[in-house]
Chain A
Amino acid sequence: MAYTSNGATIEADEEGYLINITEWDEGLADQIAKDEGITMSPEHWEVVNFLREYYSEYQIAPAVRVLTKAIAKKMGPDKGNNKYLYELFPYGPGKQACKIAGLPKPTGCV
């Protein structure tokens, strides 16, 4: 499949994960989120931005626990838990948030 953003065609795999992660921008993130039935709020952006920062350092999305700890630090301890992240990203913070952040899907037994 593919997205259209600012007149350009952006290639994605069968599930909507970007083929070339450098083609990501915030407008595209809004569009991917919409396809997933999510309206991006500042809280969603906190998560997405953290995923992107972590990815640029480690070439992989953070483990669930690393993410919840980071969110607790940024948004308060009541939000640093799995339940809150599932409220933001009902299909699972790992996969759905990665897709919106333009990152590859985590693979394996997860």
Chain B
Amino acid sequence: MAAPFDTPVLGDVTERGIPALKAGAMAGSKPYVAAAAHQEPLGFPGVLEDGWEKKAIGHMGELLGKYRSLQVFMDICVKCGACTDKCHFFLGTSDPKNMPVARADLFRSVYRRYFTAAGKLAPGLVGAREMNKETLDEWFNYFHQCSQCRRCSVFCPYGIDTAEISMAARDIMDAIGQGQKYCNEIIGKVHRIGNNLGLPPPALLDTLEGLEEDMEADTGVAVKMPIDVHGAEVLLVTPSADFFAEPHVLGLIGYAKVFHAAGTSWTLSTKASEAGNFGMFIGNYEQMRKISLRIREAALELGVKRIIFGECGHAWRVAYSFLNTLAGPWDFLDPRYPVPQHILEFTNDLISRKGIKLDKSGNDGMVLTVHDSCNVARGARMGDKPGGQFTIPRDVIRASVPKFVDMHPDTICDKTFCCGGGGGLLTDELIELRVKGSVPRMEALKAVVEQDGVTHMAAMCAICKAQFTKILPYFGHDREMVVSVHQLVSNAIVLGDND
């Protein structure tokens, strides 16, 4: 259990300053190291073995050769300082090592020592650093205080992407036997059981049956949760948290009602019962590919025509930006539809051409705002227009609720702040980091609650939903203040027989 800590006092979102530095404030924050039982099934060494230092540098060299971006990020930083106050973890913890430039320099200092002439000849003069246990420990702690949200890269005049540096660092640590328990245990479950939760098919079937009963009891309409249906038009790939947790499951119910109302045949899959792809968080291309290939196999086996992703932030980044490379070509799918599509895109399209009917009174009394998920906002797009990832979720929410307001412009769309739990940090031992990292979002939320009477915040990512459920009570809010976007659709949708 994590040590007690003080919940930060929230400031004014319109007057956010650079916090007074507290050096070493988060030096002790780290996730659990993965045990051999969680490392070895992924092909990583179980523990640090003799000679790991050399192996780490060798792996760094490989990554620098493979990813030109990483090489450029190492050489191009001019220390302008534009990124320093853009990271939620720095703003929430005041630890200067959580400034993006400082985080990147953890990697860069080792790069300099082994890959530049100056660093080889006079390391002390150029801030070059040996790869040793002390360096590794600092890497482990601070590369697990980055949620790979990429907000800093929006403000970097050179476009340095700290997320990519964090991913590379984590990949190196896995390769030498110092992985992170949370991510690697979960990836193991995806390979062994099919999803992050470790929900075996019989449990999944039982859960879905229960949901069908609930929906029929609530609406009087037999809305289905089909699974492994051959020849269905749409394969829905959604985070396994949608089957398990609240408010996630209310979103899943929303998807089912939309498919029902639109008359679209759809199916879930026991094989691809997970949209999430933690291979990205650990920066491991092979894992990312293996996890993605399950979706291809499921789509082929079931003979579907389209693939739609449920509300999951990083899954959508992998799906939208990388899926074709990882698991394509998708020439067996219906070419009239984008591969893949987002459920919000699907629902929004139906709303705009009146394919489904919404009655806002289903959400009476609610005033909504929306939290843009980092990987949706900065790692992908949605629909066929630039900025669709911002307008589509808002259009769906507006169509479903009586009142919607946005939070402060510095905290939404491409400038959105991470929820504080992204990038493989949604684990209990990091709760202090998660609470502190949520401060910028909580400040912006507080402002709209006070000024506009906001009652609920919609999220479109399983991690954001779980993180907010956990941390909202620290700031005096009800945990049920966070809702799924499709939960709102679910409350508003008019099902045929109910008309």
| Separation of A104 and B181 alpha carbons in the complex (Å) | 14
With A107-B185, A108-B240 as given contacts, are A58 and B245 in contact (CB-CB < 8 Å)? no
What's the nearest-Cβ distance from chain B to residue A99, in Å? 10
B67-102 to A contact mask, C-beta < 8 Å, 1/0: 000000000000000000000000000000000000
Q: Does B466 belong to the interface (CB within 8 Å)?
A: yes
Q: A60 touching B198 by the CB < 8 A rule?
A: yes
Residue of A16, A69, A94, A108 with most partner-chain B CB within 10 A: A108
Within 8 A of B (CB), among A7-44: 14-16
CB distance A64 to B200 under 8 Å? no
Chain B residues lying within 8 Å of A108, measured Cβ to Cβ, are 186, 189, 195-198, 239-241, 244, 276, 462
**With A15-B428, A64-B249 known to touch, is A109 a contact of B196 (CB < 8 Å)?**
yes
Question: Complex formed: what's the CA distance from A59 to B192 in Å?
Answer: 13
**Minimum Cβ distance to chain B for residue A79 (Å):** 16
Select B245's contact among A14, A15, A59, A110, beta carbons within 8 Å. Answer: A110
CB contact between B244 and one of A14, A59, A63, A92 (< 8 Å): that residue: A63
B485 within 8 A of A: no
Size bracket, chain B contacts: 35 or more
A-B contact count (CB 8 A): 90
Contacts of B463 in A (CB 8 A): 109
Per the 8 Å Cβ criterion, residues 181-227 of B in contact with A are 181-182, 185-186, 189, 195-200, 202-203, 206-207, 210-211, 214
Contact with B along A69-110 (1 / 0, CB 8 A): 100000000000010001000001011000000001011111
A47-69 interface mask toward B, CB cutoff 8 Å, 1 = contact, 0 = none?
00000000000111011111001
Known: A63-B243, A82-B246, A94-B245. A109 touches B426 (CB 8 A): yes
- Which of B1, B200, B245 touches A60 (beta carbons < 8 Å)? B200
A64-B245 contact, Cβ under 8 Å, with A14-B429, A108-B239, A108-B276: yes
Q: Cβ of A60 and Cβ of B199 under 8 Å apart?
A: yes
Can you list 22 contacts pairing A with B, beta carbon distance less than 8 Å?
A: A14-B429, A58-B200, A60-B197, A60-B200, A60-B203, A63-B210, A63-B243, A63-B245, A66-B210, A82-B246, A94-B245, A106-B244, A108-B195, A108-B239, A108-B240, A109-B241, A109-B245, A109-B312, A109-B462, A110-B241, A110-B248, A110-B462
What residues of chain A have their CB less than 8 Å away from a CB belonging to chain B? 14-16, 58-60, 62-66, 69, 82, 86, 92, 94-95, 104, 106-110
